[in-house]
Structure 1
Amino acid sequence: MSLRFLRSRLLIAGLLLLNLPVIAGTSGQPQAGEIPPQDLGKQWRGEAINLADYRGKVVIVTFWASWCGPCRKELPVLSHFQKTVGRDALQVFAVNFKESREDFMAIARNRDLDLDYVHDRNGQVSDRYGVHALPNMFIIDQTGEIDHVHLGYSADSLPDIIDELLALLPEEVRNRPAQGS
């Protein structure tokens, strides 16, 4: 067996292994064009959240955990989106993935992040969404259908996410001055 052949086989095997979490993380998830589960549970302040109440807005539902480094990078970005676009056109829900109340509250109390937090300690919401890997983001259009699903987070994915979000916002929202400026 040649070194070149072996190297290509190892490369292919390595790429397949790198993709396993992505493949496993998306099985059973609602996909683009589908209506996601409407019940997100309760906000950390106790209010029940039903996504049907947010029709007419773009909604982002992201699943995160305090121990997830990429999640901790994504949350401030989503908070910036929320502040910049405004709650009249965008609603961001950050659903905590199966953590203790203490770990959840350590993040949810951060007043610098303009997000609506949901504590999913027992995993009922994440199970309905088929979430097995983090972060896992669902971008939902004004009609209530999922427009995009993102698994993982990197700075390289940010321009695409911004373009997807802007494409969903009405022209008058895209053209007004940013609310968080």
Structure 2
Amino acid sequence: MKSFKQLISLLLITHLGLCVHNAQAVVINDDAPNFTLNSLQDQQPITLAQFKGKVVYLDFWASWCHPCRQSFPFLAQLQQQYQQDGFEVVSVNLDNNPKLATDFLKQFPVNFTHLQGFDTGISEKYAIEAMPSAFFIDAKGRVRLIHKGFKASHKKFIKAVLEKLLAEN
């Protein structure tokens, strides 16, 4: 187990130096850019600041994204397992048609917050270059890690990062 923890630490340290994006940069250990977006479920405005005090996995996705189809059941499982510990998955859909997102969610019903992000400037604010793109945000509201893409082999890493951030809380 110790070697696994050392591997995670090494991956985190290595990743930290690679996570500065161009455009409007999101920088590791800086505050996550706040936003207000409408909920896909009921069109109510939701801000990122509402989740301060919780560890947030901010997930950008689209209905056409095959890895997103793989990630949603795993993210729902994490939400269920760690929500009582102060964890929230917040997804931002970037489809140009909200119906595509709602159809996707009928196929992959999950228990976390879904926001509509198309044509809101959020993808530029977070410099989204790949689908899915996720931002681990700690309880203080700082971006701690940026994760692009999703494969089944990423599950252990994502869970380990989540547990580390929850332990800091």
Q: Normalising TM by the smaller chain, what interval?
A: 0.7 to 0.9
Matching residue of 2:75: 78
Retained in 2: the 8 A contact 1:141–1:168?
A: yes
Q: Does 1:41 align with 2:37?
A: yes
Q: Does 1:67 align with 2:64?
A: yes
Give the distance between the partners of 1:26 and 1:153, measured in 2 at CA. Answer: 19
- 1:138-180 CA distance string (max 9 Å, x none): 0100000011100111122221111100011148x9xxxxxxx
Matching residue of 2:5: none
Q: CA deviation at 1:112?
A: 3.3
Q: CA RMSD in A?
A: 2.3
The residue type paired with residue 35 of structure 2 is: D
Matching residue of 2:100: 103
Distance 1:73 1:111, change over 3 A: closer
Q: How does 1:144-155 map to 2 (within 5 A)?
A: 144-155=141-152
Q: How does 1:1-181 map to 2 (within 5 A)?
A: 26-28=21-23, 29-44=25-40, 45-86=42-83, 89-109=86-106, 112-170=109-167
Give the distance between the partners of 1:46 and 1:59, measured in 2 at CA. Answer: 21
Name the count of aligned residue pairs: 149
Q: CA deviation at 1:97?
A: 1.3
Retained in 1: the 8 A contact 2:72–2:108?
A: no
Q: Partner of 2:31: helix, strand, or coil?
A: coil
Q: CA deviation at 1:42?
A: 1.3
Please list every run of at least 4 consecutive aligned residues from structure 1 whose deviation after the TM superposition is greater than 6 angstroms.
none
Give the distance between the partners of 1:87 and 1:68, measured in 2 at CA. Answer: 29
TM-score (norm 2): 0.79
TM-score (norm 1): 0.74
Q: Partner of 1:102: helix, strand, or coil?
A: helix
Gaps of 5+ in 2: 1-17
Q: CA deviation at 1:123?
A: 4.7
| Percentage of matched positions with identical amino acids | 27
Distance 1:65 1:111, change over 3 A: closer
Give the distance between the partners of 1:101 and 1:83, measured in 2 at CA. Answer: 25
- 1:13-65 CA distance string (max 9 Å, x none): xxxxxxxxxx9x94334132011211141111122222222111001111111
